[in-house]
């Protein structure tokens, strides 16, 4: 989900840093929605720390998230946590065991094959882009990552 969502955001004009933040944000959001959102037991809304930017609504088509500006970058936040490109790398890219670039290129090709109207619609993106491919892509990308992991010890052993 994160990779396809990041490719969607990048295709719709977000710079790579913002696109990766969007992708991770949406993956977190939809995982929470699937589980059922947990409610906090705090007495009211948390006041932002003085160093935090106040989150503002951001729409990518009809899909809404909350953004903050960090330096010159627009990044996305959920549950008081900013999803950074570094977090995307740690939580998403590293799962690909060195094959992320190939998966990213494939995700961009898949997303770019659809109209702007489809990409701007939360429902159409899910039903026409993500859902029909999620199982096949997950299987393929997992197999490629496992093959890469299996190849690394052999390469190191030869040295």
pLDDT at residue 39, as a whole number: 52
Radius of gyration of the chain (CA): 17
pLDDT at residue 37, as a whole number: 60
Residue 81's SS3 state is strand
> Quick check: 12 and 119 in contact, CB under 8 A?
yes
pLDDT at residue 153, as a whole number: 63
pLDDT at residue 51, as a whole number: 41
pLDDT at residue 45, as a whole number: 45
Q: How far apart are CA 81 and CA 25, in angstroms?
A: 9
Straight-line distance from the first to the last Cα atom of the chain, in angstroms, rounded to the nearest whole number: 37
Q: How far apart are CA 5 and CA 75, in angstroms?
A: 14
> Quick check: 48 and 56 in contact, CB under 8 A?
no
pLDDT at residue 149, as a whole number: 85
pLDDT at residue 151, as a whole number: 80
Residues near 58 by beta carbon (within 8 Å), at least 6 away in sequence: 64, 65, 66, 67, 74, 76
pLDDT at residue 102, as a whole number: 94
Q: How far apart are CA 130 and CA 70, in angstroms?
A: 29
Chain segment 17-63, per-residue pLDDT in tens: 999 999 999 999 988 888 876 555 444 444 444 345 689 999 999 99
* Positions in the chain short of pLDDT 70: 37-53, 152-159
pLDDT at residue 156, as a whole number: 52
pLDDT at residue 50, as a whole number: 38
Q: Domain boundaries in the chain?
A: 2-35+52-151
pLDDT at residue 38, as a whole number: 56
Residue 94: CB atoms within 10 Å: 12
> Quick check: 97 and 149 in contact, CB under 8 A?
yes
């Amino acid at each position: 989900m994160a990779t396809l969502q990041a490719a969607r955001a990048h295709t719709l004009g977000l710079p790579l840093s913002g696109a990766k933040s969007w992708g991770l944000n949406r993956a977190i959001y939809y995982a929470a929605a699937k589980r059922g959102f947990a409610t906090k037991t705090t007495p009211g809304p948390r006041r932002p720390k003085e160093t935090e930017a106040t989150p503002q609504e951001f729409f990518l088509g009809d899909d809404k998230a909350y953004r903050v500006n960090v330096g010159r970058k627009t990044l996305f936040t959920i549950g008081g946590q900013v999803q950074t490109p570094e977090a995307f790398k740690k939580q998403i890219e590293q799962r690909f065991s060195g094959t992320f670039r190939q998966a990213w290129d494939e995700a961009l090709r898949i997303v770019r094959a659809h109209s702007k109207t489809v990409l701007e619609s939360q429902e159409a993106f899910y039903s026409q882009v993500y859902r029909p491919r999620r199982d096949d892509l997950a299987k393929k990308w997992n197999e490629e990552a496992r093959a890469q992991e299996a190849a690394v010890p052999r390469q190191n052993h030869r040295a």
